[in-house]
Amino acid sequence: MIPSDHFVRFYNEVFKFLDEQDGLQAYYEEISRHQELHCLRLFMEKGLEGMEEYWGHIRVEENCISTSWIEDGVRYSHMSRCPSLSKVLDNDAAPCAKYCLHCPGWVAPLMTKCGFYYIKYLRALDQPECYSVNSEDREKVEAIRQDLIRQGFRYIFTNLDDAAEVEANREKRHRLAAGKASAAK
Amino acid sequence: MLRYQENNELHRDFHGTTNTTLNYIADHYGVEALKTILRKTGHDVYKSIREKLAKGDASELIEHLNWFFYREQGKYRLSVSENEIVFEVFECPAIRHLRKLNLEPSPHVCLQTSEVNAGMCEGTPWRSEVKVLGEGHCIQTFRKEADHDSK
Contact B14 A7 (CB under 8 A): yes
pLDDT digits (tens, 9 = 90+) for B92-114: 999 999 999 999 999 999 999 99
Count of CB pairs separated by less than 8 Å, A with B:
113
At position A71, the amino acid (one-letter code) is E
Statement: residue B137 has pLDDT above 70: yes
Rg (CA), chain B: 15
Contact A1 B46 (CB under 8 A): no
Task: Give mean pLDDT, residues A120-143.
Answer: 98
Question: Of the candidates A3, A26, A63, which has its C-beta nearest B68's C-beta?
Answer: A3
Residue of B nearest to A37 (CA): B101
Domains in chain B: boundaries: 14-145
Phi and psi of A30, rounded to 5°?
-65, -45
Q: Which domain holds residue A59?
A: 4-184
- Give the model's confidence band at B148: pLDDT under 50 very low, under 70 low, under 90 confident, else very high: low
Contact B68 A5 (CB under 8 A): yes
pLDDT digits (tens, 9 = 90+) for A2-40: 999 999 999 999 999 999 999 999 999 999 999 999 999
How many structural domains is chain A composed of? 1
Task: Give mean pLDDT, residues B12-16.
Answer: 97
- Give the model's confidence band at B149: pLDDT under 50 very low, under 70 low, under 90 confident, else very high: low
Task: Please state whether beta strands A74-81 and A65-71 pair in parallel, antiparallel, or not at all (unpaired).
Answer: antiparallel
pLDDT of residue B151: 42
Which pTM was predicted?
0.95
- Give the model's confidence band at A181: pLDDT under 50 very low, under 70 low, under 90 confident, else very high: confident
Locate all alpha helices (DSSP H) within chain B, ordered by sequence: 14-29, 31-40, 47-54, 59-71, 93-100, 111-121
Inter-residue contact B140 to B112 (CB < 8 Å):
no
* CATH label, B14-145, candidates 2.40.160.20, 3.20.20.140, 3.30.1380.20, 3.40.50.2000: 3.30.1380.20
What integer best gives the mean pLDDT of chain B?
Answer: 96
